[in-house]
Amino acid sequence: MKRTEYHCQSCGRAIYFDGLCYNCRQRQSRERAQAWSDVEVARKMRAIIAALDDKFYKKEENREFFELLAYKDISTEKIAEAATRVGVYYPSELYRDAPPKAREKLLALLETPECKEASHILLCLALAGGEDVLATFARLERNPLPWVKKLHVPLSVYAQAGGWTFDKAGNHIQLNFDKCYPVFSASPDNSDAAVSVAVPREETCPHCGTRLVDILMLDGKDRRLAFLNLPGTVRVPCCPQCSCEGFIVRYQLDGDSAMELVNPFGDGEKMRDNVYAEMVTKKFALSTRPESLFFARGNDEDVITVGGFANWIQDFQYEPCPDCGKTMRYFASVPWAALMDSAEGALYLEICPDCQIIGAFHQQT
């Protein structure tokens, strides 16, 4: 049976029901949240505090919490205090702005030989950050208590959940950037040159023959992108067909870049022409203003972001630089559905500025 085809009333993409496509509904829910007044925000925060218990993550208030974090950049200080009082340690983002007293309480729990809920508490502290957290994590990694030995990954990996880690000497290493700019779809008239997305290149993929694209091209001289500390043009060449297993880019700040596939995905079949054409005709514009570092976590809207925290589809993933071995710094993600209606998953980009290397990998459900 052939299903009736409709077009989304907002963006025009083909869908199989009358109304708005999923992504446009997510965009509308974001715009609704962005328009919440201070009074509404305060009321929702009280509702979140009242709803804190071990089932919180399944509740409507949990969804609203992420919208407040992503679109209103709320301080979670009061929420973290309340969560500490009732012993709720999930989701860890509740503790993003945990005040020193709340952190102390959580840190004290780690000092027991058999810390219950250690994993959740560590993630909460990773999100909270702070010198006290760093010092405790580094000490417990050097001199582990019995519960530490049962963890599947070291404490320096738990810290990554908060966008940081530490070296053997206990020195803090930042793993993400302290600004975030979304890249919204735009009409050809108001697209902008600070970030270009999926721009066709001359060369073709050695594995499948698809013409490569610069999946991102960043103008690091644009004042909005100054936080990346890349004073030049950085291109990220990519085969849109076989990048699933990840790839490496060696870049120069003059826009010269070379791509190496780590482990080409698929059977070497070229991307279909109509899909390729759809991908390279979309236009985008970098947001005029920075947004919350958690912008990508607000809902499942397919928005490209530069900086901030990734919306990981699987677990958070910070890869070592293939040259120097240091953990790379996360700087952008591209949900494929922002480029191709039927695509799934997202591409995550991390950088080692010392080696001028970008590592890219894909996650999907």
Could you list the residues that contact Zn ion (CB under 5 A)?
Answer: 8, 10-11, 21, 24, 205, 207-208, 210, 239, 241-242, 321, 323-324, 352, 354-355
Q: What minimum distance in Å lies between the beta carbon of 202 and Zn ion?
A: 15
Q: What minimum distance in Å lies between the beta carbon of 142 and Zn ion?
A: 25
Q: What minimum distance in Å lies between the beta carbon of 355 and Zn ion?
A: 3
11/173 with CB nearer Zn ion: 11
CA distance 78 to 71: 18
Q: What minimum distance in Å lies between the beta carbon of 330 and Zn ion?
A: 14
Helix (H) or strand (E) holding 70: helix 60-71
User: Which residue carries 């949240």 as its tokens?
Assistant: 33
| Cβ pair 242, 264 in contact under 8 A | yes
28/34 with CB nearer Zn ion: 28
**Using DSSP, how many helices (H) and how many strands (E) does the chain show?**
10, 15
50/253 with CB nearer Zn ion: 253
Q: What angle do CA 154, 358, 344 make, to 5 degrees?
A: 85
CA 285 to chain centre: 18
Question: Which residues are registered as beta bridge partners of 354?
Answer: none
Q: What minimum distance in Å lies between the beta carbon of 287 and Zn ion?
A: 19
53/354 with CB nearer Zn ion: 354
Question: Which residues are registered as beta bridge partners of 233?
Answer: 219, 254
49/355 with CB nearer Zn ion: 355
CA 179 to chain centre: 12
**Around 322, how many Cα atoms within 13 Å sit in the side-chain half-sphere?**
14
Question: Which residues are registered as beta bridge partners of 259?
Answer: 249
Q: What minimum distance in Å lies between the beta carbon of 178 and Zn ion?
A: 21
Structure token pair of residue 348: 């995550």
51/248 with CB nearer Zn ion: 248
